[in-house]
Structure 1
Amino acid sequence: MSPLTTSSRRRILFVGEAVTLAHVVRPVVLARALDPARYEAVLACDGRYLKLFGELPFAWRPIETIPTVKFLDNLAKGRPVYTAETLRAYVRDDLALIEAVQPDLVVGDFRISLGVSARVAGVPYFTITNAYWGPYSQLPFPLPEHPMTKVFGVGVSQALFNLARPLVFALHTLPLNRVRREYGFPSLGTDLREIYTHADQVLYADIPGFIPTAPLPPHHCWLGPVLWSPEIKPPDWWDAVPEGRPIIYVALGSSGENERALPIILQGLADLPVTVIAATAGQPLGIKPPVNAYVADFLPGAEAAARAALVICNGGSLATQQALAAGAPVLGIASNMDQHLNMLCLERAGVGARLRVGPLTAKQVRKMTERLLGDAGCRQAAGRLRETLRDWDTGQVFAARIAIQGGDGQTTATQP
């Protein structure tokens, strides 16, 4: 494996774990931000989302990822996302990929097997994540959607989850720790956050202060927001959307429960004096859209958020950063823990609110929408965050971390 040098272009392999769109978007955006005169980017991911990115200015290599449906089902039922068998296959695929590409640096997004394969290959490894998944986060863990909430309710279930969470996290660490031992590496312990952030450099796709943390060590850094919108043509109705009433942009993304939740949301907004523009992510809507709703499979998200007085999404960081970059408050319809953690940060910042997708009703959506539209303080707080996000240069931060890695050998891939 060739070491990082300054005499030629550095080859950087980006690996996105395509269980959700966000884990592919962030590698693509960062790869595009690099100076092609200095860096040669290679993207590896499952091809399920590639059509949303248009023509890529760098090479793409396919790599297998478990089906999104399986990933979301595991999350919903509290099972470990990956089995040891799956991770063994991932490591083998990673090693074959690294051998073929011969990168100077690997940058992964939720490809936790790289914590093994990059070490075996002796290649420096960066991981992209959110700070609420880091071991220095000071956020509490809200209860995600879980079958027990239907039996005990949210309050009692949250209390039970607080007691069981350390054991649940420990259970989720077992598969990767087992694979690590098979390759001669020590266990990372029973904190799931250590599994998610075991890398030479940990890049948090967030801004400082938004997520409360303890002081970060030097190899953990604030990368900043990763903003993206699909490269698609607006629908035929785009220019005909009336501007006389507040516009609500609804998009639940690839990990939102579109099939069940989107009709409920549209019904909740149907009688309000608003105009709705909604994206189904290619899933069937199942109902006739209300008269105040304009619906398409996909929408240019940045432009849609810029038109919106409120964004309703699944609460994930990709969608909420897009909304806040446009100064729009957010109503998050949250399901998994990642979405709940992210929306907890928005609630703390006064720029949004969340509803649980499990017991979601049209009445809840209507009442929360009315509240957020009438909250001047929420709009002002979102406007202040918009300025912060606009001033942040994520690409520059990323390039600086690469320079640190390659300039003086300050970080190496020798840590197991």
Structure 2
Amino acid sequence: MADVMIAVMPFAGHVAPLAAVAEAFVEAGHRVRVYTGRAYADRFAALGAEPVRWSAAPDFDEHDIAATFPALRDRKGPRQLLANVEHLFVGTGAAQGDDLVAAYGQRPWDVIVADGLSLGTHFAAERTGTPSVTVSIVPLSIPTPELPPPILPLRPARGPLGRIRDRVLNSTLTLTTRGIKRAYDAQRAASGLPPTDAPLDAAWHSPDLVCASGVPELEFPRSGWPVRIEFVGALAPTGSIRPDPPDWWARLPEDRPIVHVTQGTLNVDPDDLIRPAFAALGRQPVSIVATTGRADAPDLPFPAPPNAHVAGLVDYAELLPRTDAMITNGGWGGVLAALAHGIPLIVAGGDIDKPVIAARVAWAGAGIDLRTGTPSPRAILRAWRRLSADPSYRERAEEIGRELRAHDGPREVVAHTMALVERRRAQHRPAPAA
């Protein structure tokens, strides 16, 4: 048995996969604590883990982040990405580390397993000298000179001009993120850690082990990784959130294909994707199942067409086996859930990592990238017709789905983590007497 600390940023899209990981550790007999925000403490407690709430770190409401971080108000696209990283993810790092080190002082852990965007985890592991595991719940963002910067929605370059493009972009990104690097250096100093010459991108993954959600088929080809990477497939079982079925569920026609439209769980303005999807498909021979992304807000501020059905959340274990296509804002968990069922995608990625995810889906041949988070009805209709007419999208989605279904993500994280712990224990075990 090991004592395991799990750290997860308090966002629904982060909590779902880490909750599955926490449950797998508990089921394997390990003693588990989970460091997260107050909104999700009860969820982890229900799994048998001991919650450790944000205390020194400023807890926040994911649906009103600007109330805690005013610099994030009214930002979208690349500006939001940079501001989120600097103020929310980096700016809370030292305080997160302080909370975790205090918990370690109360009861030392054997290993810390963390959401890759939990910067305080890396500070705490460095301060305590304990092994750490990064669970990447978004596509890997480890850069390489062979590829464009991983935060940009660009495909691998071809030819000499493309390689020049990537060198220029990588250099430009270093300049663009200087403010983030200064904030990171300040957080290290506030944590009592020495300066480091390591590049900023190294701050977001453990030097010991990275368990990456997804499969290599969704990664751009490269010659290698600078750290140990283990792909573990999808992390959140599609049945991990089991809301009660909406009252219209039993009335869904059996003879019509279902198109699922999801706004995700962050930046859930229904005007961005749900409204144009209704306009595009409201007269088509399909049933539209739309989710607002909020269980407490299942209604829309505009009427739905007769063939549409709306809920805050739906049970994916019930919905996805019946779904013909998904129109999504590009959340990684939802994308992997769809692909695990062989469902082709139309992706409208507008914010944070969503444009990158959309580009990867299109590159892999499993869907269409609308190249905007606010598509027009015409663009959605055109993409849906193309998806329906070309069987290669569904064939490729099913190929990737077979790879995803070959994994048991949460249990694989446990197995890889415990192998790391045993290697560390062996290194510190006294040599047998002669």
TM-score class, shorter: 0.7 to 0.9
Out of 84, 93, 102, the residue aligned to residue 96 of structure 1 is 102
Task: Give matches, 1:22-171, under 5 Å.
Answer: 22-34=13-25, 36-49=27-40, 55-63=46-54, 64-68=58-62, 69-70=65-66, 76=77, 77=79, 78-79=82-83, 81-83=85-87, 86-109=92-115, 110-129=117-136, 130-136=138-144, 139-141=147-149, 164-171=172-179
Out of 2, 7, 11, the residue aligned to residue 10 of structure 1 is 2
Moved over 6 A (4+): 50-54, 142-145, 160-163, 410-413
Structure 2: gaps (5+ residues): 154-165, 429-434
| Residue aligning to 1:21 | 12
**CA pair 308-54 structure 1, distance change in 2 beyond 3 A:** farther
Residue identity opposite 1:206 in structure 2? G
Cα offset, 1:174, TM superposition: 2.4
1:237 aligns with 2:241: no
**CA pair 334-138 structure 1, distance change in 2 beyond 3 A:** farther
**Superposition CA RMSD, Å:** 3.1
Residue identity opposite 1:240 in structure 2? R
For 1:143 and 1:382, the matched residues in 2 are separated by 23
For 2:426 and 2:133, the matched residues in 1 are separated by 11
| Residue aligning to 1:148 | none
Asked if the contact 2:367–2:387 (Cα under 8 Å) also holds between the matched residues in 1, the reply is: yes
Out of 322, 328, 352, the residue aligned to residue 343 of structure 2 is 328
TM-score (norm. length: structure 2): 0.80
For 1:332 and 1:399, the matched residues in 2 are separated by 31
1:197 aligns with 2:197: no
Residue identity opposite 1:278 in structure 2? A
Number of equivalenced pairs: 391
Asked if the contact 1:249–1:311 (Cα under 8 Å) also holds between the matched residues in 2, the reply is: yes
In the TM superposition, what whole-angstrom CA distance separates every residue of 1:323-351 from its partner, at most 9, and x where no partner exists?
Answer: 01111011111012411222222111110
For 1:311 and 1:190, the matched residues in 2 are separated by 37
Moved more, 198-207 or 287-296: 198-207
**CA pair 244-137 structure 1, distance change in 2 beyond 3 A:** farther
Out of 177, 180, 188, the residue aligned to residue 172 of structure 1 is 180
For 1:303 and 1:138, the matched residues in 2 are separated by 41
For 1:256 and 1:352, the matched residues in 2 are separated by 22
Give the percent of matched residue pairs that are identical in Structure 1 and Structure 2.
Answer: 22
For 1:54 and 1:372, the matched residues in 2 are separated by 42
For 1:343 and 1:176, the matched residues in 2 are separated by 28
Residue identity opposite 1:312 in structure 2? I
What is the DSSP-based 3-state SS (H/G/I as helix, E as strand, rest coil) of the residue aligned with 1:234? coil
| Residue aligning to 1:403 | 418
Asked if the contact 2:41–2:53 (Cα under 8 Å) also holds between the matched residues in 1, the reply is: no
Structure 1: gaps (5+ residues): 1-8, 146-157
TM-score (norm. length: structure 1): 0.84
Cα offset, 1:136, TM superposition: 4.6
